[in-house]
């Protein structure tokens, strides 16, 4: 169960909140003046978040590497095409002159 408590309430009931998180799997959002200041979650959920973060980081890194290689290849092809076009244009100008 997800519940929201004030920072003052969290301070006064910290042990109880920890138990509800650990044994019942609750999530506790702690607010001060209506602003979220922190969240208590179980160690299991925290481990899952960390694993997902690592997986996402690896996927993003791999994607960046793949994109960088693809970009460099596209840039090389475009540069070659521009050079070929410039050669053709300069060749046709010489013939017509």
| Burial grade of 40 (CB within 10 A; 0-12, 13-18, 19 or more) | buried
Q: Which positions ≥6 away from 31 have C-beta within 8 Å? A: 4, 5, 6, 7, 37
Look up the domain containing 14 and give its range.
2-41
33 in the same domain as 51 = no
81 in the same domain as 67 = yes
57 in the same domain as 29 = no
Tokens 């244009």 appear where? Answer: 89
Tell me the per-residue pLDDT of 1-54, one tens digit each, with 9 for 90 and over.
Answer: 899 999 999 999 999 999 999 999 999 999 999 999 999 999 999 999 999 999
Query: Does the global pTM surpass 0.75?
Result: no
83 in the same domain as 61 = yes
Tell me the per-residue pLDDT of 46-97, one tens digit each, with 9 for 90 and over.
Answer: 999 999 999 998 888 888 777 877 778 888 888 998 988 888 888 766 666 5
Residue 39: φ, ψ to 5° = -140, 135
Total tally of structural domains belonging to the chain: 2
- Residue 3, Cα to own-chain centre: how many angstroms? 27
- CATH, residue 7: 3.40.1620.10
């Amino acid at each position: 169960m997800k519940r929201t408590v004030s920072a003052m309430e969290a301070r006064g009931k910290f042990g109880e909140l920890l138990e509800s998180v650990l044994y019942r799997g609750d999530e506790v959002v702690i607010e001060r003046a209506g602003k979220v200041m922190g969240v208590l979650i179980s160690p299991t959920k925290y481990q899952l978040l960390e694993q997902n973060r690592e997986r996402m980081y690896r996927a993003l890194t791999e994607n960046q590497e793949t994109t960088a290689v693809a970009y460099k290849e596209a840039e090389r092809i475009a540069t070659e095409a521009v050079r070929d076009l410039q050669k053709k244009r300069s060749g046709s100008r010489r013939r017509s002159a």
